[in-house]
Chains A and B, each alone.
Chain A
Amino acid sequence: MSPTSAELLRDIKSRITEVDPSDVREQLGNGAVVVDVRETEEFAQGHLPGARHVPRGYLESRIEGVTSDRDAHLILYCASGNRSAYAARTLVEDLGYSNVESMTGGITLWKDRGYDVEVPRTLTAEQRERYSRHLLLPEVGAEGQQKLLDAKVLLLGAGGLGSPTALYLAAAGVGTLGIVDNDAVDLSNLQRQVIHTTDRVGVPKVDSAEVSINAFNPDVNVVKYPIRLDSSNIMEILEYGWDIVVDGLDNFPTRYLLNDATVRLQIPVVSASILGFDGQLAVFAPYEGPCYRCLYPEPPPAELAPSCGANGVLGVLPGTMGLLQATEVVKLILGEGEPLVGRLLLYEALGATFTELKVRRDPECPICSRDPSSITDEEMGVFPDYEAFCAAAG
């Protein structure tokens, strides 16, 4: 004879391990992973501090996004301790997790005991729709999307690299995008700078970029700097509180200046450069990996540094490289994956080849081998006399 639901629940509870809220409270922060198996609306009204959310209906498909370690200590809870009991049985008997407990009495008993409840900031209905494909990814989810919305990313240049990067970061919901660029949109930009449009030729690039970004995603706050980055303004701009800087600069002196300032302030830089059919990409995370000066202790001489004047570039190449930059930015914000730290990725479009090179920290690096607070204003951006040969190179 089939069991009644009450009999089934009793049977299930006899087969799993239950834990009292007072014990769970002591376990918080001790390596136990607390999982809330209630529905999204219930979770949004408040949950145990630090709890991860996997609705019971998605348990089997999403639990590995929380942990795939079968020996991990998992504590499940729901409203009253029944759904979490069923969920615990599933994890143990169907998926082979060995150390799973269900919290007696659920969050109701937890609250009755007067323990802390964390009320999450929630996405609006419009945001849940807009970012739904992110929310479906365990690596992003509502928590990751909130990190993206909270992130502040500074883009140096709204040109070839900055255009696609800005558009995709805006689409991804990065909440604050700063843009430094003192140029106006030129017709010759439109072969690759996809954030600008024909009817905005002559408009300052920061204004043109803002129009496109906000048309794409009104969630994004655009901070505009219609100036040329130099030693007199870089510290003021960087001290806004940027989490990440995206380097799409078109000249060497400013790249060295940026490196020195970001090492001093310990801000990671996602750096790319392009020429012709070739692109380079790296993440410079101060004190975690090498800096730009570890990779390039000295800039090349003018004849080998064709960045000063106008040079040819395949229009789609900055799209490729800019989107690789945007990908690294999103990974850094989410804290997911393996960032391109200590590695340099080369892309050669004609041969369709990627090459990865190792980049080591230089123990004698004039900048990042030292304590950041010891880097003085005078030392930042120290560079051979470039103005002269850029002028010579035309």
Chain B
Amino acid sequence: MATVKIPPVLRPSTGGEKEVAAEGANVGDVLRALAAQHPQTESQLFSADGQLNRYVNVYLNDEDVRVLGGLDTGVGEGDTLVILPAMAGG
């Protein structure tokens, strides 16, 4: 079970949850499990072709999955996925 950290802009889609536990052997599986639990997150995370939206940064622990194996990056027990939105408030 991995932990997914939910950013403020997505929390309305997770019923206010800041962290969601989700099963999956890789990043794509974990995020799809998140989307199954909280369907509103699906279109925010994934584009129509099933890829991560380019404006969504996902980190496995502290490393950007774009420099790892993308959605195919393996996820272990106890790993943390951080979904990171750009913010522009000042």
Residues in chain A within 8 A of chain B (CB atoms): 156-157, 159-162, 247-252, 255, 272-278, 280, 295-301, 304-307, 311, 313, 318, 344, 346, 348, 351, 355-360
Contacts of A306 in B (CB 8 A): 9, 89
For B, the interface residue count at a CB cutoff of 8 angstroms equals: 24
Is A300 in contact with B55, judged by CB distance below 8 angstroms?
yes
Interchain nearest-CB distance for A195 vs B (Å) = 14
Is B82 in contact with A255, judged by CB distance below 8 angstroms?
no
Our count of residue pairs bridging A and B at CB distance below 8 angstroms stands at: 93
* Cβ contact of B90, chosen from A250, A305, A351, cutoff 8 A: A250
Is B90 in contact with A300, judged by CB distance below 8 angstroms?
no
B23 within 8 A of A: no
Is A351 in contact with B18, judged by CB distance below 8 angstroms?
yes
B21 within 8 A of A: no
**Binary contact track B58-90/A, C-beta < 8 Å → 1, others 0:** 010011100100000000000000101111111
Interchain nearest-CB distance for A285 vs B (Å) = 18
* Cβ contact of B67, chosen from A161, A273, A351, A360, cutoff 8 A: A360
* Cβ contact of A273, chosen from B56, B57, B59, B88, cutoff 8 A: B88
Contacts of B44 in A (CB 8 A): 304
Is B55 in contact with A299, judged by CB distance below 8 angstroms?
yes
Interface of B is mostly: loop
User: Can you name 30 A-B residue pairings with CB atoms under 8 Å?
Assistant: A157-B90, A162-B90, A248-B90, A250-B89, A272-B90, A273-B88, A278-B87, A280-B87, A295-B57, A295-B86, A296-B57, A300-B9, A300-B55, A304-B55, A305-B9, A305-B86, A305-B88, A307-B87, A307-B88, A311-B89, A344-B84, A346-B82, A355-B62, A356-B62, A357-B59, A357-B63, A357-B64, A357-B82, A358-B62, A360-B67
In the complex, A248→B90 CA distance in Å?
A: 5
B24 within 8 A of A: no
Asked, given contacts A300-B55, A301-B55, whether A358 binds B64 with beta carbons under 8 Å apart, the answer is yes
Is B88 in contact with A360, judged by CB distance below 8 angstroms?
no
Is A273 in contact with B62, judged by CB distance below 8 angstroms?
no
Is B8 in contact with A275, judged by CB distance below 8 angstroms?
yes
* Cβ contact of B88, chosen from A251, A346, A348, A359, cutoff 8 A: A251
Minimal Cβ-Cβ distance residue in B for A307: B88
B37-67 with Cβ < 8 A to chain A:
44, 54-57, 59, 62-64, 67
